[in-house]
Amino acid sequence: GGAEVCDGLDNDCNGERDELEECGCDLVSIATPDVHSYHGPTWGAWMQDPLETLGPDLVWKMEAFDNRTLVVRYPSISDMATGSSETYQYLSYGYDGTGHVVYDGYLYYNQAYGSTIQKVDLETMTAVDSLYIPDAGYRNTYSYDWGGYSDIDLAVDEEGLWVIYATAANSGRLVLSKIDVDTFSITDTWNTGSDNKNSIGNAFMICGKLYATDTYGSSSTTVDFKFDPLTGEESNPGISISNPGGYNSSIDYNFLEQKLYSWDDGQQQTYDLTF
């Protein structure tokens, strides 16, 4: 498996669990990020749909983290950078945190004041389904180290949709669940032996494996936790990652671009990856 190369949609990470080991998408290094734009508050998230269901290049931006309802859509990253051609759209239920994802034309986010995930059709901005995450902390019970109601962090990779959170039953360490987007239900859950989520910077999924960073704030930190749900193996990969803004409030993987997207003290940036 190690000789294979990640090439986006054509790789072997196609959701067949017995092929996970063959995908060869183990993260090796993370480049210094490219800063695409700088605006908005310290905290937020910006996303592109790896399936480009509503068209190529579209960007969705969600500022701050506290029961907001505004979703700003841009035709492209360059439009986001210049602040042009934006469309303002509003959610029926506010969001907490910065763990939102866009996947196959839908927005998934943590509804404010609880542990429910909302699924919203981004064409109509209609809430089409919701999913309760049992025992998940919310509203800074088990946030990442910067706070910001970042307890419930969604992630999308070649395998589909995941949710990363923490529970009292797992002593505040990371818990990972796989979500079937069609039935909108949890199909598997894994308790990890990570650090307490309150002392973790952020987490993301790449090719069916969970990665977590040590801290949100220092300009130079590491991905110091990796968990493979297929084997249960945990390790410290010791991969360097920089937070140039000093306040990295969201990090997530886009498997079409094969980059990490982040919002770091108002900087909208991407990191090139080596596998």
Question: Do residues 64 and 44 lie in contact, with contact meaning Cβ atoms separated by under 8 Å?
Answer: yes
Closest distance to Ca ion from the beta carbon of 41 (Å)? 18
Question: Among residues 12 and 206, whose Cβ is nearest to Ca ion?
Answer: 206
Closest distance to Ca ion from the beta carbon of 92 (Å)? 24
Closest distance to Ca ion from the beta carbon of 261 (Å)? 9
Closest distance to Ca ion from the beta carbon of 164 (Å)? 7
Question: Among residues 75 and 244, whose Cβ is nearest to Ca ion?
Answer: 244
Closest distance to Ca ion from the beta carbon of 84 (Å)? 28
Taking the C-alpha atoms of residue 115 and residue 85, their distance in angstroms, rounded to an integer, is 34
Q: Which of residues 186-205 bind Ca ion (CB under 5 A)?
A: 202, 204
Count of residues binding Ca ion (CB under 5 A)?
Answer: 4
Question: Among residues 12 and 111, whose Cβ is nearest to Ca ion?
Answer: 111
Under 8 Å CB-to-CB from 182, ≥6 apart: which residues? none
Question: Among residues 12 and 117, whose Cβ is nearest to Ca ion?
Answer: 117
**Number of residues assigned to the chain:** 275
Closest distance to Ca ion from the beta carbon of 144 (Å)? 8
What are the C-alpha distances in Å from 181 to residues 2, 129, 135?
A: 29, 10, 20
3-state secondary structure of 62: strand
3-state secondary structure of 15: coil
Taking the C-alpha atoms of residue 176 and residue 155, their distance in angstroms, rounded to an integer, is 10
Taking the C-alpha atoms of residue 263 and residue 37, their distance in angstroms, rounded to an integer, is 10
Q: Which of residues 11-70 bind Ca ion (CB under 5 A)?
A: none
Question: Do residues 143 and 198 lie in contact, with contact meaning Cβ atoms separated by under 8 Å?
Answer: yes
Beta strands in 139-219 (DSSP E): 153-157, 160-166, 173-180, 185-196, 203-206, 209-213
214 in contact with Ca ion (CB under 5 A): no
Question: Among residues 12 and 252, whose Cβ is nearest to Ca ion?
Answer: 252
Per-residue b/e over 246-258, b at no fewer than 16 CB within 10 Å? ebbbbbbbbbeeb
Q: Which of 162, 252, 254, 262 binds Ca ion (CB under 5 A)?
A: 252
Closest distance to Ca ion from the beta carbon of 205 (Å)? 8
Instruction: Show the site string, 112-151: x = touches Ca ion by CB under 5 A, - = not.
Output: ----------------------------------------
264 in contact with Ca ion (CB under 5 A): no
153 in contact with Ca ion (CB under 5 A): yes
The site for Ca ion (CB under 5 A) is made up of: 153, 202, 204, 252
